[in-house]
Structure 1
Amino acid sequence: MHTGRDCCPYKYLKREKWQRRGRSKQRDYHEFTNNRIEEIPPEDLIRLQRLETLNLQNNRLTSRGLPDDLFEQLENLNYLYLANNKLTLAPRFLPNSLISADFAANYITKIYGMTFGHKPNLRSVYLHNNKLTDAGLPDNVFNRSDNVEILIMSSNFLRHVPKNLPPALYKLHMKNNRLEKIPAGAFSHLTGLRELYLQNNFLSNEGMNNETFMNLNRLEYLDLSSNNLTHVPSGLPRNIVILHLEKNSIRNISNDVLTQIRNLEYLLLHNNKLRARGIHPLAFLGLKKLHTLHMYNNLLEKIPAGLPRRVKTLMLLHNQITGISKDDFATTYLLEDLNLRYNKIMSSAVHKDAFRKLRLLKTLELSGNFLRSVPHGLPKNLEILRLNDNEISSIPQDTLAGMSKLKEIYMKNNKLKISSIYTGAWSELNSLQLLDLSGNLLTYVPPDLPESLEYLYLQSNKISIITDSAFQSTPNLKGIFLRFNTLTPQSVMESAFEGLEKLQVLDIENNLAFKVTKKEKEEDTEKDD
């Protein structure tokens, strides 16, 4: 045990805290956190019979420094916090009055039968970030402690779900373990369970059966991500709201594994091995509440058939989709956010009526594809359109017509020239606030920009001139970005930026103009000297 006042020894700390709290009415609470306490002699707790809360988090307590019966004498103790210490064994005996115990972030390898057993008032136990194995748990670790509601055992070395879990559980966290299977009946009595975290384990479909989750009638959140699943498990309860299945090896979704989950709102299937032909056309039938579907980072070669009718957010980025046919989105009329970034979509494979039903679509992401022109038939209610990193060399006639709600357009890193943009393309976009045309082949500022525009990105083009009328139609500009062009002092008209009273940022660095101006400033300084 440390001796010496500078190291905050327990006896000195206790005396100081006791004197301070002795003048208050809160004599049932003691906090000794963030010190270097290594042990607690029994005599130091003898006088604390009324103690209800003892907080010893963030110290250096070891199991040797805690006698087996140290806490048993505290008959009124409700809350015990021992997280972030150096315990290797859980305390052997704890008082029956205990309500919550936090032993997280230690090195605990063993729990005793009376550690958490015979505690009718116990409600929450935190054991995450320890070194528990199956051998370190008694068969009935919560014997006669049937009222435990929260059990956190994440980040240990468990291979199996503990037996005889308390029937009152509503939150069970077992992520980041080594679970390989869930024994038959492990969850059958947990009828009130609402949250179940099983991600980042070694669970396979063979390690579960059709009845594993069947009795969890109140389960709302299930996380099975980062396991070894090859298909969606059967027998999932109907009240799940959020279902995590990402980062597995799922190759197919049959027609009857999801349809009974009538309350499903979020389905996360990204980072799997799904192909469009592996998803049954009726896989999402009847899921009327499903509004968010993530299927990015899969092997989809086309838009899957039978998409949820009421989906609002659909993430299909980073797949191998080559085109969009006429009826791919014919039934998803509530879609608001569609992300198809970084696929292999070609302009010739996008049907002109592909988006005809998406009247509520607000955001369309098509960056990182093989598009050579802006697609026809874009939804008129779009607010954000992203077409970065394609091969777009033209904006055909009227492809942006009627898009009065469009606020942001991103078209950087394409092959656009002024001559390849139809006349009047920008002027009718009377809600446009941001236009990004950086990384193209423009030689001057596009004409007829809308009055609503606030930010204009034109860097990394071939702009060699700024006329005096370049920004006459855009008095609301706040930011103009022109770096990495070929501007010179002579090619920038002095009156070009007059009238831009709201302008906050003018970025014209890394042009010939900037370099010459800098040199001129140096010469002027020398003359002044």
Structure 2
Amino acid sequence: MGARETLFSIHLISVNNVDMLPSSRSLLVLWLLVFSYNMIHGHDDEDNDFLENSSKLQTPDPDFLAPDCPRDCTCTQEGVVDCGGIDLKEFPIDLPESTNHLSLQNNQIEEIFPEELARLYRLETLNLQNNRLTSKGLPEEAFEQLENLNYLYLANNKLTLAPKFLPNTLISADFAANYLTKIYGLTFGQKPNLRSVYLHNNKLSDAGLPDNMFNGSDNVEILIMSSNFLKYVPKNLPPALYKLHLKNNKLEKIPKGAFNELTGLRELYLQNNYLTNEGMDNETFWKLSSLEYLDLSSNNLSQIPSGLPRNIVLLHLEKNAIKMIGRDVLIQIRNLEYLLLHNNKLKARGIHPLAFQGLKKLHTVHLYNNMLERIPSGLPRRVKTLMILHNQISEINRNDFATTYLLEELNLSYNKITSSRIHREAFRKLRLLKALDLSGNNLHTMPFGFPKNLQILKLKENDISTIPRRALAGMTKLQELYLSNNKLKVNSIYRGAWKELSSLQLLDMGGNQLVSIPSDLPASLEYLYLQNNKITMVSENAFESTPNIKGIFLRYNKIAVGAVKESTFQSLKHLQVLDIEGNFEFSDTSKNRNNSEEEEEEDEEEEDSS
């Protein structure tokens, strides 16, 4: 991966209550999002450089093995030696002098003598991660003679002090997951080729860092110092940085001018610290003209910091104590696409009506787990995904979504919305809306006025007892409908309701009060969930209208054994899952049937003997 290749990553967390159902679109989207991210970034950002560089230690081809090779190791004529994971307790002394890539990872090595390394003067890559090395067992001058060393991996050992001297040829150094408390001036200083340093998961404090930690190493591009004990942003950071991780520290303050020289920085991770608005000023981030990703989540911010640079694409501000969004705090971030403000203390009146004005690229806004008592006014005009679940919203007015024409996904679940306080024309402008979630509210009847283009509608965990006539009219594109855990009965659903839904593939009516299979189900239906109802029988023609059905779930009803015939399902050529277990009458009826069969057999035996 090139040093200047875009490493900007989108860390979005799905906030839907993803239904564990085979055809759930939200499950597919979540899987695709995770799969796409892994395809682009591989593993955690903090391990990317290690994975890229350690790929140099390829598995040797047995056809090209060198003859003079330590026992249990594999060596190639090109100088690649792999002694990883062979339970070594000591550094091997019979390594070929021609070794240039050496892997000793996943062993139990506790000590290395300088003279053992000194003769490996061609060494370019040394992987010692996941051993038992201590600072006492690794002398200060251990690596001093390795004048060709480019990549050094010492992660997952027991080092308490960083080596005082490392070769100035170094390109990447990984000291993650040790017990480091101190870095020296020449550990990483005076190394013009150094590009990446990994120091996360150690015990570093401010006192353990020299002021000029990277003096003469101006080309460092990746610095990972997460999960330490730093209270301040380190001084004199390398000007070439484009990725800086300082999450999971104890940062209270960002010193004035700490980021002024980092004009090429693109990713800045500051989450899980103790930062307050008083610990930064209006110019803290202003000079970061290339910044695209900023994570300030899980801090102690009471408002959005001022002076954020215009090129930010993804802004994490969740899990703070933000109570308001002023008129001018966001408008300069012209490239903003993702704004994550969930888990704060926002009320609708604390959001200025013009707070999002001019943000033409902002398409995803998370406002869930706040204190919103109504839909905020002045929502971003081009928003496509809006998450407002888990608030205190009790009504949806006619013009709440009048300007959000491009909205595709709207989640209003787990608020306090009642059926009577949803205006019939509240969704009239949302002609592109594909997914709407109103689960976990106080709905007593299915509301009218749903957008005709909806593909997913979730109304589970309400008190819905009726679906009034024409409530589903015109919804020919609906593919998934979730109505589980309500109070629906067969006669409380208007006749012909399901025929309206000619594209329906999934219908979830589990946890209601149905006593029979709904009739006139659409031919497009593939999955039908009716568990936890009061169904007593399944008629032979119950599924005549659904020839494409793949899954039928009837668990935990009151179906007697004789009330289900095999012929009911014989014509369903696509049926893959039939779950009919856990019905009340099965065990008793089955037991009675077995008893009666045993009695008949005994009678026959008595007759034969007589």
Residue 89 (structure 2) pairs with residue 9 (structure 1): yes
Aligned pair partner of 1:489 in 558, 561, 572:
561
- What is the CA-CA distance between 1:500 and the residue it aligns to? 1.5
CA distance in 2, matches of 1:460, 1:61: 58
* CA offsets 1:293-336 (integer angstroms, 9 cap, x no match): 11100001111111111111111111111011001111111111
- What is the CA-CA distance between 1:493 and the residue it aligns to? 5.1
Contact 2:87/2:106 (<8 A) preserved: no
The worse-fitting range, judged by mean Cα deviation, of 63-72 and 199-208 is 63-72
Alignment of 1:220-259 (within 5 A): 220-259=292-331
For residue 125 of structure 1, what is the aligned residue in structure 2? 197
Residue 463 (structure 2) pairs with residue 391 (structure 1): yes
- What is the CA-CA distance between 1:441 and the residue it aligns to? 1.2
Aligned pair partner of 2:258 in 176, 186, 189:
186
The runs of 5 or more residues in structure 2 that have no matched partner are 1-71, 73-85, 606-610
- Change in 2 beyond 3 A, CA 1:330/1:63: same
CA distance in 1, matches of 2:597, 2:221: 76
The runs of 5 or more residues in structure 1 that have no matched partner are none
- What is the CA-CA distance between 1:514 and the residue it aligns to? 2.4
CA distance in 1, matches of 2:308, 2:180: 33
Residue 100 (structure 2) pairs with residue 38 (structure 1): no
For residue 352 of structure 1, what is the aligned residue in structure 2? 424
Secondary structure class of the residue paired with 1:385:
strand
CA distance in 1, matches of 2:291, 2:596: 75
CA distance in 1, matches of 2:567, 2:202: 69
The worse-fitting range, judged by mean Cα deviation, of 465-474 and 442-451 is 465-474
Residue 358 (structure 2) pairs with residue 292 (structure 1): no
What's the RMSD between the two structures over aligned residues? 1.8
The residue identity in structure 1 corresponding to 2:88 is C
For residue 43 of structure 2, what is the aligned residue in structure 1? none
* CA offsets 1:139-161 (integer angstroms, 9 cap, x no match): 11111111111100000000000
For residue 69 of structure 1, what is the aligned residue in structure 2? 141
Contact 2:335/2:359 (<8 A) preserved: yes
- What is the CA-CA distance between 1:490 and the residue it aligns to? 4.0
- What is the CA-CA distance between 1:232 and the residue it aligns to? 0.3
The residue identity in structure 2 corresponding to 1:165 is L
- What is the CA-CA distance between 1:53 and the residue it aligns to? 0.9
The worse-fitting range, judged by mean Cα deviation, of 209-218 and 423-432 is 423-432
Secondary structure class of the residue paired with 2:525:
coil
Aligned pair partner of 2:501 in 416, 429, 441:
429
CA distance in 2, matches of 1:491, 1:282: 62
CA distance in 1, matches of 2:427, 2:549: 32
Contact 1:508/1:514 (<8 A) preserved: no
The residue identity in structure 2 corresponding to 1:123 is R
For residue 533 of structure 2, what is the aligned residue in structure 1? 461
Secondary structure class of the residue paired with 2:211:
coil
Secondary structure class of the residue paired with 1:80:
strand
CA distance in 2, matches of 1:334, 1:171: 33
CA distance in 2, matches of 1:491, 1:79: 71
**Percent identity of the aligned residues?**
70
Secondary structure class of the residue paired with 2:187:
helix
- What is the CA-CA distance between 1:513 and the residue it aligns to? 4.3
Contact 2:560/2:589 (<8 A) preserved: no
Secondary structure class of the residue paired with 2:126:
strand
- Count of aligned residue pairs for this structure pair: 517
CA distance in 2, matches of 1:66, 1:408: 62
For residue 181 of structure 2, what is the aligned residue in structure 1? 109
Contact 2:398/2:423 (<8 A) preserved: yes
Secondary structure class of the residue paired with 2:499:
coil
Contact 1:489/1:516 (<8 A) preserved: no
- What is the CA-CA distance between 1:522 and the residue it aligns to? 7.4
CA distance in 2, matches of 1:105, 1:148: 20
- What is the CA-CA distance between 1:420 and the residue it aligns to? 1.2
Aligned pair partner of 1:311 in 367, 383, 386:
383
For residue 67 of structure 2, what is the aligned residue in structure 1? none
For residue 51 of structure 1, what is the aligned residue in structure 2? 123
- What is the CA-CA distance between 1:494 and the residue it aligns to? 5.6
Secondary structure class of the residue paired with 1:427:
helix
Residue 239 (structure 2) pairs with residue 174 (structure 1): no
Contact 1:462/1:486 (<8 A) preserved: yes
Aligned pair partner of 2:399 in 314, 323, 327:
327
- Change in 2 beyond 3 A, CA 1:525/1:285: farther
Residue 281 (structure 2) pairs with residue 201 (structure 1): no
Aligned pair partner of 1:408 in 460, 475, 480:
480
* CA offsets 1:245-265 (integer angstroms, 9 cap, x no match): 000000000011111111111
Residue 152 (structure 2) pairs with residue 80 (structure 1): yes
